[in-house]
Structures are given as C-alpha cells and as structure tokens.
Amino acid sequence: MSQVLVELVKKHFPEAVLETHAQHGDDTAVIEPGAWKAVHRFLFEAPEARMSMLVDLTAVDFPDRDPRFEVVSHLMSLEKGHRLRLKARVGDPDGDDAEVDSLADIWASANWMERECWDMLGVTFRGHPDLRRILLYPEFVGHPLRKDYPADKIQPLIEYRDVENIDKLAPFGVDEGMSFGRQTHAGVVDPDADEDAQVN
C-alpha cells in the first residue's frame, strides 16, 4: 500500500536508499544515515506524503554486524492513513560513532524518544536540544540495552545495607521461605525420590 511512498523516496533520494522491503503490508526503506534528516523532512513536508506523526523512534543492536546499530523510525500520516518505516545503519562494532541527526525540530515527539534511545543504546542524535538520560539516573555508566552490557550488572545509587548475606536475607533462605519453593535441603518433597516414600 505504501509502496507508493517507497517509490517517492527512491525518486527524490536515489543515492540515499540502500534497500527496501515489505513485510505484512508494512514497507521499509533502509537509507543512508547521512540522509536521515533530509528524508524525514521531505516525508513530513511533501504533499503526497504528509507524515504528520512520528509513531516510534528506536534502535536495535546487532552485535555481529558492521554497522552495528539500526536506528528505526515509524512514520504515519494522519491525513492519508499510510505508514512507512525507515532504517539507518550506524556505528562501528565497538559501539562508537553511532550518530544520526536529531528529528526533534520536525516532530516534537522525537525529543523524548531520542533521549530514550540514547539512554538505552547510546545512539547519539546530532542537534538534539537536550540529550541526557530520560529513564535512568545521570550516574549510570553505559547503555543497558546494548548486547554487550552484562545482564547481571547493577549500579546502585545508594549503598546496600551493611548486613551479612545481603543477597539472601532471611526469610529467603535455602527454601525461599516456602516448603514448596526451590528445595535444596533435606526433609522436603523431592520429585526424584522414591514415589512410595513420597506419599507419606
């Protein structure tokens, strides 16, 4: 349906469109990161497109690819009812140089979505009016949705209490406080035990 839009973008930016595909009726155009803002401004302003709404703006981390990140934007026209998804591939395998232009002066909603994207994945948006963390706290180091962020790494703002065994405080001992919890000690129902012995 929005194949027309893809053709429109291709016509006006023949150099910038790297590839296109369609899935489940949604068309996607992968564009040069350098043309990120120009294509968006064109789609916002062109009378055939009239993409008045930036539905979502986020990024995806592909740790094995180069460029590593895919910045994704979902556009919709409230007037015409059509949609288009745009992608730009940025960043080297170390996660540096992931930069595209900010869309905040085209759609005001891009402001917070770009802040979230920077907070979670470390994609920098050039020309953003106020690019700082939106969900996490300023003291946080790193970007947690990057695939190389350790899954169990926490950065507490305040020190934990100075008590012994802080990871497993009573009553959350070996049996997690419940007789039917993950049992690791003797004297409880054991699924692998002899069935006759288990009944009583």
Partner 1 sequence: MGEMKAEEVLETGVGEGFVTTRLVPLLSWAQKYSLFMYPFVTACCGMEFMSVSSPRYDFSRFGSEAPRFSPRQADLLWVVGTITQRQAPVLKRIYEQMADPKWVLAFGTCASCGGFYDNYACVAGLDKIIPADVYVPGCPPRPEGVLDALMLLQDKIQRGDNTPGVVKPRRDPATDQSMGLIEIRRSKKTV
Cα distance between residue 14 and residue 114, in whole Å: 27
Closest CB 114 distance from partner 1, rounded Å: 20
In 3D, which of 104, 140, 109 has the Cα closest to residue 125?
A: 104
CB 127 within 8 A of CB 138: no
Between 78 and 151, name the residue whose CB sits nearer to partner 1: 151
Size of the site for partner 1 (CB under 8 A): 31
In 3D, which of 131, 120, 58, 128 has the Cα closest to residue 95?
A: 120
Considering only residues 11, 24, 132, 161, which one is a binding residue for partner 1 as defined by CB under 8 A?
Answer: 161
Closest CB 163 distance from partner 1, rounded Å: 8
Strands 99-101 and 124-126 come out as parallel
88 has which bridge partners? 31, 71
Between 11 and 132, name the residue whose CB sits nearer to partner 1: 132
The residues in 176-195 that bind partner 1, with binding defined as CB under 8 A, are: 177-180, 188-189, 191-192, 195
Considering only residues 78, 166, 186, 197, which one is a binding residue for partner 1 as defined by CB under 8 A?
Answer: 166
The residues in 129-158 that bind partner 1, with binding defined as CB under 8 A, are: 135-137, 144, 149, 151-158
CA distances from 27 to 23, 76, 86, 104, 182 (A): 7, 12, 9, 23, 48
Between 82 and 143, name the residue whose CB sits nearer to partner 1: 143
Binding site for partner 1 (CB under 8 A): 135-137, 144, 149, 151-158, 160-161, 166-167, 169-172, 177-180, 188-189, 191-192, 195, 198
